[in-house]
Amino acid sequence: MRHIITIFSFIICVSTSIAQKTVDASDIMKDLKEGKNVQISNATINGVLDFTFMDDALPKLPKRRRWWNNGGSNTVEKQIAGKVQFTNCTFQDHVLAYIPHEDSGYTFVANFEDVVVFKDCTFEEKAMFKYSDFERNTDFSGSKFNGDSTFKYAKFERDITFEDTLFDEPSTFKYSKFKQYVSFENAIFKDTAIFKYTEFKDGVSFRNVKFEEDLNIKYTKVHGKFDITNMDVAYDIDSKYTRINGKSFSKYLLNSKK
């Protein structure tokens, strides 16, 4: 009996040590800067994870007056070449692929050239992916966004899933473009969800999705499958100028009931 208890205690200790593994964001950024693949599971990430590498780029850039007078762009883009894969990780601080720097006037954006995975992760603070290009398959399934999040103007070139996600704060996919089919199946939006001007070029699933506040799909365009089976919206749906395969949202609903 004593041996059984000892073995059981050992298993608990091992499980706890795995769950409590911590990784510094600075170490992750070092690997990304060198073009390495990042693959981390069952870890807590400490510190701001800045995919834009703003602190490295800022000192090398012209002052605001110079690029403004020359008609230059104020957007600084960083290409992330390696795979980015996080599974069952908790990010205690901001995760940033978009930073508007007020003092300099520059906007820093990160684009992802390879696979991106944030599966079963928890974002405790901001998760900013505004303007980001996701060139390969992308997976945010099972993740929790406890702070502000934005995918505004983001472009998804390949397969993408947001299944089983939870958005605790207002979330926006305004102006986002999905070239392949995307699923939000079983997702929960605790606050307002904004899909205004979003384009779904190969279909979208909102099956079993719960919108606990308002849903804004104004000017949204959907081509292909549009699955809203058991979708629940607690308050208002703004579907003005929405087009589902060329039809208005209300006309689509009427036709789907026939």
Is the Cβ–Cβ distance between 110 and 82 less than 8 Å? no
Q: Find the mean pLDDT for residues 64-78.
A: 72
Distances (CA, A) of 89 to 63, 78, 211: 38, 24, 25
The CB density around residue 158, as the number of other CB atoms within 10 Å, is 14
d(CA 135, CA 116): 9
- The residues that bridge with 238 in the sheet, in sequence order, are 216
Q: What is the pLDDT of residues 121-156, one digit of tens each?
A: 999 999 999 999 999 999 999 999 999 999 999 999
Query: Worst-scoring range by mean pLDDT, 33-37, 101-105, 121-125?
Result: 101-105
Q: Which of 146, 135, 142 is nearest to 110 (CA)?
A: 135
Q: Is the pLDDT of residue 184 over 90?
A: yes
> What is residue 72's predicted lDDT score, i.e. its pLDDT?
62
Distance from chain centroid for Cα 154: 9
d(CA 151, CA 149): 7
Q: Is the pLDDT of residue 113 over 90?
A: yes
> What is residue 73's predicted lDDT score, i.e. its pLDDT?
75
- The residues that bridge with 127 in the sheet, in sequence order, are 95, 149
- The residues that bridge with 227 in the sheet, in sequence order, are 205
Q: What is the 3-state secondary structure (H, E, C) of 182-237?
A: EECCCCEECCCEECCCCEECCCEECCCCEECCCEECCCCEECCCEECCCCEECCCE
Read off the pLDDT band of 204 (50, 70, 90). very high
- Pick the residue with more confidence: 1 or 34? 34
Looking at residue 220, its amino acid is T
Please, which contacts does 67-75 make with residues 24 or more away whose CB atoms are closer than 8 Å? 67/105, 68/105, 74/105, 74/106, 74/107, 75/106, 75/107, 75/108, 75/109, 75/131
